């Protein structure tokens, strides 16, 4: 069964609004979660590393003030896309590392469409 969930699975919003995406660990306490973005027919690109209880680490070129990440508990990380624009329309996927082999488990993704 799924070990990482995301909510919502899809969202449509108007340009200029903010959207919050949740990533939950269902049965595991994750101190670190990752957020990826995937444009149509493209690969996944790491946006940021979400650390429980501390600030997220953003990859080069990702605006931290636009993509707000909060990892307030060991089972929940949230990504808020602020002042969304059509170019932010994408598939957003979170993941977490588990196990001795450091295997990364991915959530089902959230499809964001900004009109």
What's the closest the beta carbon of residue 106 comes to other proteins, in angstroms? Answer: 4
What's the closest the beta carbon of residue 67 comes to other proteins, in angstroms? Answer: 17
Q: Is 107 in the site for other proteins (CB under 8 A)?
A: yes
DSSP assignment, residue 42?
S
Q: Partners of 20 in the beta sheet?
A: 80
Site mask for other proteins (CB under 8 A), range 46-65, x = bound: x--x----------------
Among 11, 82, 111, 113, interactor with other proteins by CB under 8 A: 111
Query: Of 47, 44, 54, 50, nearest to 23 (Cα)?
Result: 50
Q: Is 68 in the site for other proteins (CB under 8 A)?
A: no
Q: Is 78 in the site for other proteins (CB under 8 A)?
A: no
What's the closest the beta carbon of residue 62 comes to other proteins, in angstroms? Answer: 13
| Under 8 Å between Cβ of 58 and 37 | no
**What is the DSSP track for 3-37?**
SEEEE-SEEEE-TT--EEEEEEESSS--SEEEEEE
Q: How far apart are CA 51 and CA 72, in angstroms?
A: 9
Q: Which residues bind other proteins (CB under 8 A)?
A: 4, 6, 32, 34, 41-46, 49, 93, 95, 97, 101-109, 111
């Amino acid at each position: 069964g799924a070990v990482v969930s995301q909510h919502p699975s899809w969202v449509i919003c108007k340009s200029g609004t903010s959207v919050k995406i949740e990533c939950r660990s269902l049965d595991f306490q994750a101190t670190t979660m990752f957020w990826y973005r995937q444009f149509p027919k493209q690969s996944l690109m790491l946006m940021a590393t979400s650390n429980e209880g501390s600030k997220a680490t953003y990859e080069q070129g990702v605006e931290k003030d636009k993509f707000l990440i909060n990892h307030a508990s060991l089972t929940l990380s949230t990504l808020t896309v602020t002042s969304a624009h059509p170019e932010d329309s994408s598939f957003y996927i979170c993941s977490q590392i588990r196990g001795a082999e450091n295997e990364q488990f991915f959530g089902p993704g959230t499809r964001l469409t900004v009109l």
